[in-house]
Amino acid sequence: MKPEHKDEIIWVDAELYLSGTTEELKDTQKIAFHTKDYGFDRLELPINKRQLELLRRKRLQGRNTVHVRIKQDFHTGQYDPTTASLLNVQEPPLPVELDDAYIERLIKQADPAWKDVDDPEAWLREIRGYDD
C-alpha cells in the first residue's frame, strides 16, 4: 500500500545488474560505467582499492556486467544515479561457439583419451554403476 502523501519521496534500496563497458577514471576512487540499461547513459561508481586492484588484475576494462546498489523512488520507480555503488563486476563470458562446431572440437580433443576403450557405452555404464 502506498503512503497518502505522494509528493513525499521515499527512497528504497534496489540492486541491478547492468551490461555495458567500464572505464577507469583518472580519479582512482571511481570508475565510469557506460550502459543503456534502465535508461542510464553513464554512471560513476565509487570503487575501493580492493575492487580497483581486482579490475586491473583481471583486466576487466571493456564490456562486462556490474552488480550495483542504487536508490529508487518508491512512487515513480526512478533511480538516483548519484547513489549507485558497485557491489561486484562479473567477468565477461567466454565466446560462445556454434553448437555443432563446439561439439566437434570437444570430440576431437577427447578422441585420444578414448582410443584404448573398445566399447565406450559399456565403459560408461560400468563407471556409472549401472547393472546390465
Domains and CATH numbers, the chain: 11-90 (2.40.50), 99-128 (no CATH)
Block residue for cell numbers 576494462: 61
Put simply, whether the predicted model's pTM sits higher than 0.85 gets the answer no
Q: Model confidence over 68-108: pLDDT tens digits? A: 999 999 989 999 999 999 888 776 555 665 677 878 888 88
Mean pLDDT of the chain: 82
β partners of residue 66? 18, 89
Q: Which contacts of 28-36 are long-range, i.e. CB under 8 A and separated by 24 or more positions?
A: 28/52, 31/55, 31/86, 33/66, 33/68
